[in-house]
Amino acid sequence: MSRISTLTKLIVSLAIILSCLMVSKALVALFELTIPASVLGLLLLFFLLNRGWIKKEQVTPSGNILLKYFPLFFIPSGVGIVEHIVLVQANLYLILTAVLAATLSTLLVVSQLASKLKVGQRD
């Protein structure tokens, strides 16, 4: 009985995650959005979890399995970098400049936003 219950929880949790992905794919196709469906699906799942419409325990069984194998998703990126190492080396300064500029601009925007939001709060 316990094994059937575990399998049922796994199937339900996977169905919830895949449903969020399918709804987001439909929204992207229907409204011709430029945001990737996977990102929109994660935002939808976050929204549902945040509102309490879905409980964390409902997505934990398949979520844990996905997180366990998450590093495997980075293998293609690593292979691509190694495969094009000459191109990366040729543009290393440009890449580093872009990464540094993006990091600094993100820090600046977040710090400005945090200071503006904190102004309205009083302890």
In angstroms, rounded to a whole number, what is the distance separating the alpha carbons of residues 19 and 25? 10
pLDDT given for residue 23 in this prediction: 96
- For the stretch 62-117, pLDDT in tens is 999 988 988 888 888 888 888 999 999 999 999 999 999 999 999 999 999 888 88
Cα–Cα distance measured from residue 49 to residue 46, given in angstroms and rounded to the nearest whole number: 5
For the entire predicted model, the pTM comes to 0.62
